[in-house]
Amino acid sequence: MSAHYSPLRVKLVEGNKSLGQITDEICRPMNRLPSKSWWLAFLVAFSALMMGIGAITYQVLVGIGTWGLNTSVGWAFDITNFVFWIGIGHAGTLISAILFLFRQKWRTSINRSAEAMTLFAVMCAGLFPLIHMGRPWLAFWVGPYPNTRGSLWPNPRSPLLWDVFAISTYFLVSAGFWYVGLIPDLATIRDKSTSKIKKFIFGVLSLGWNGSNRIWSRYETVYMLLAGLATPLVLSVHSIVSMDFATSVIPGWHTTIFPPYFVAGAVFSGFGMVLTLMIIARKVLNLHEYITTTHIERMCKIALLTGSMVGLAYGTEFFIAWYSGSIYERFTFLNRAFGPFAWAYWIMVSCNVITPQLFWFKKLRTNVKWVFIISIFINIGMWFERFVIIVTSLHRDYLPSNWTGYVPTKIEVMTLIGVFGLFFTLFLIFCRVLPMISIGEVKSVVSYANTRNKEH
């Protein structure tokens, strides 16, 4: 009956585990006190978060004038960060939804934490437009609701309103997908745990799940539907983010290549972040047998593919800037590469075009230390990509009398660090209170080797 067993197939989880063992090992971090390294990481992240809260409070009280923006560079650090964080989220959805539809079973060890990463990244992203509004308590004005001002509606032809819908849909659907995926595991913990408080909390959260196959059948259908919905959704989100730029008539922004280019870049940067997080998590939480070198190698391959797409997009942009014959386009791109922000441009090129090419070598792909270093470079490079696209296009526009520079203020840098703190604080708490790996799904991938006949 175990027809789908193949000796050629690489094992997804190492160390011939029984089902009970999987539950115990994945839940282990939840049942013991946090280690010293966890506390250290948490302390750093939490301090950064506190600094960020201070910076955000200050700029909300004083105003957006605390930023380094000027009349030419009206968008800079905040939108860079917004696009950066939204992009990070995309890898999580790619792992959880697209790899699910393609039946890539290796995703089971990493999808839970990648989806959590998506949610936290979208939260971080959402903060920036909220702060940029200046009066964040009026953020609900972006929603189309009947009001006493007319009703005055938001403009549905504006890409910024598309963004509102795209980001909120992305967050809600990702959160739903993640929670639905969690329910069976929450029930497992409810039934395994001996502490009364834990039993109660997980009992409430698991909604009375009992493992009935009649429910499983429905559940699997819904899970597949959500994956099917999340797949075009994730492509649409960064396409719409790119339209914030592409629908304007700014040289360097006004290009049709933007949607696919942004989506590839988003997935690339997201995989950079997933690799960073997973390499730390498997080390700190001792999950080497679940998140194996094979997993890391496969993620590196996706980073290589999307990184090459990004490199191709950079080349295409340059070619089209010349081929279009538009002097403004041509100037913008030459200015990017050789103007005052050339340093940022070349950081971007070396991190995003050259670094991922190292993944062609299996030796580097399977060497965790190297992968970690490269993943950091990807994170840096993709942050600079957004900075370059946004700032270099704005700081020298059609009229030379408009030309300015841009330097971020302390407040902007503190906000960026603070939001990193928020992201890592949330992720570290998640690692402690919820099963970081999908217990049920991992069981289903080890099962083909876990038949009675093979044991004897």
Residue ranges in 161-190 that form contacts with another protein under rule CB under 8 A:
161-162, 165-166, 168-169, 172-173, 176-177, 179-180, 183-184, 187-188, 190
Residue among 171 and 345 whose Cβ is closer to another protein? 171
Rule CB under 8 A: is residue 191 a binding residue for another protein? yes
Rule CB under 8 A: is residue 222 a binding residue for another protein? yes
Residue among 41 and 95 whose Cβ is closer to another protein? 95
From CA 390, how far away is CA 344, in angstroms rounded? 12
Contacting residue, 6, 71, 194, 210, with another protein by CB under 8 A: 210
The minimum distance between CB 313 and another protein, in angstroms, equals: 21
Contacting residue, 40, 62, 204, 433, with another protein by CB under 8 A: 204
Cis amide bond preceding 151, omega within 30:
yes
The minimum distance between CB 213 and another protein, in angstroms, equals: 4
CA angle 374, 375, 381 (to 5 degrees): 90
Please choose, from the candidates 393, 310, 303, the residue with its C-alpha nearest in 3D space to the C-alpha of residue 344.
Answer: 393
From CA 334, how far away is CA 316, in angstroms rounded? 14
Which pair of structure tokens corresponds to residue 168? Answer: 């909120």
Q: Which stretch binds another protein (CB under 8 A): 68-76, 159-167, 346-354, 418-426?
A: 159-167
CA angle 392, 82, 328 (to 5 degrees): 20
Rule CB under 8 A: is residue 194 a binding residue for another protein? no
Rule CB under 8 A: is residue 226 a binding residue for another protein? yes
Footprint (CB under 8 A) of another protein, residues 133-152: 144, 150-152
The minimum distance between CB 208 and another protein, in angstroms, equals: 3
The minimum distance between CB 123 and another protein, in angstroms, equals: 18
Footprint (CB under 8 A) of another protein, residues 16-45: 18-20, 23
Residue among 47 and 236 whose Cβ is closer to another protein? 236
Please choose, from the candidates 299, 310, 292, 298, the residue with its C-alpha nearest in 3D space to the C-alpha of residue 276.
Answer: 299
From CA 373, how far away is CA 356, in angstroms rounded? 11
Footprint (CB under 8 A) of another protein, residues 382-411: none
Rule CB under 8 A: is residue 347 a binding residue for another protein? no
Distances (CA, A) of 139 to 130, 157, 219, 414: 7, 19, 35, 23
- Name every residue whose Cβ is closer than 8 Å to that of residue 99 and which is 6 or more positions away in sequence: 106, 107, 111
From CA 260, how far away is CA 269, in angstroms rounded? 14
The minimum distance between CB 176 and another protein, in angstroms, equals: 5
Cβ-contact 123, 422 below 8 angstroms: yes
Cβ-contact 96, 267 below 8 angstroms: no
Cβ-contact 381, 351 below 8 angstroms: yes
- Name every residue whose Cβ is closer than 8 Å to that of residue 355 and which is 6 or more positions away in sequence: 307, 374, 377, 378, 381
- Name every residue whose Cβ is closer than 8 Å to that of residue 180 and which is 6 or more positions away in sequence: 219, 222, 223, 226
The minimum distance between CB 32 and another protein, in angstroms, equals: 19
Footprint (CB under 8 A) of another protein, residues 46-85: none
Footprint (CB under 8 A) of another protein, residues 410-429: none
Contacting residue, 123, 160, 215, 280, with another protein by CB under 8 A: 215
The minimum distance between CB 254 and another protein, in angstroms, equals: 14
Sequence letter at residue 8: L
The minimum distance between CB 172 and another protein, in angstroms, equals: 6
Rule CB under 8 A: is residue 441 a binding residue for another protein? yes
Residue among 71 and 213 whose Cβ is closer to another protein? 213
Residue among 5 and 360 whose Cβ is closer to another protein? 5
Rule CB under 8 A: is residue 240 a binding residue for another protein? yes
The minimum distance between CB 180 and another protein, in angstroms, equals: 6
Cβ-contact 117, 81 below 8 angstroms: no
Rule CB under 8 A: is residue 201 a binding residue for another protein? no
Rule CB under 8 A: is residue 245 a binding residue for another protein? no
Footprint (CB under 8 A) of another protein, residues 349-388: none
From CA 188, how far away is CA 178, in angstroms rounded? 16
- Name every residue whose Cβ is closer than 8 Å to that of residue 281 and which is 6 or more positions away in sequence: 113, 287, 291, 431, 436
Contacting residue, 229, 309, 368, 417, with another protein by CB under 8 A: 229
